[in-house]
Amino acid sequence: MPVTVVIDTNFLAVPAQFGVDIFSEAERLLERKIEFVILSTALAELERKLKSSTNKTEERHFRIARDLANRCMIIEPEDLFISGSVDDQVLEYSKHVKGVLATNDRALRKRAKIAGVPVLLLRGRKQLAIEGGLI
């Protein structure tokens, strides 16, 4: 059975910023088949960040992130009655599916740890790491 990895907006910028293939690295690290998921609200947040980019480099990072989002299954959180901020939604959905949350957001990582949700993150700008145990 595949493990669900719920991707936060900032995590999709990792490949453009640091040259790390988040998809193959996640599969290598988790040693399982993975179903990558992004919430439609996180995708909308990514589009907002792209439109409000202040320089060409930032814009390029968000364009690459948007293209990478096409490799993920898009989920509508409203269908699951999950509300709140995008961070609240990705955390709640990760708990709901007993999946892994992929984020580099320090505050969200801390909240996930408290909630018992494993977190996939970039460590040392070179490779992914997992915090918390897999179920």
Domains: count for the chain: 1
| Structural domain contains residue 71 | yes
Over residues 80-100, the mean pLDDT reads 88
Question: Is residue 124 within 8 Å of 62, Cβ to Cβ?
Answer: no
> Per-residue pLDDT for 95 more than 80?
yes
Shortest CA distance to 37 belongs to which of 12, 7, 81, 68?
Answer: 7
| Structural domain contains residue 43 | yes
The confidence score (pLDDT) of residue 100 equals 96
Question: Is residue 73 within 8 Å of 95, Cβ to Cβ?
Answer: no
Domain range enclosing 61: 8-131
The confidence score (pLDDT) of residue 91 equals 95
| Structural domain contains residue 1 | no
Over residues 56-71, the mean pLDDT reads 89
| Structural domain contains residue 57 | yes
> Per-residue pLDDT for 134 more than 80?
no
| Structural domain contains residue 118 | yes
Mean pLDDT of the chain: 90
SS3 133: coil
SS3 109: helix
CATH number of the domain that 96 lies in?
Answer: 3.40.50.1010
| Structural domain contains residue 2 | no
pTM: 0.90
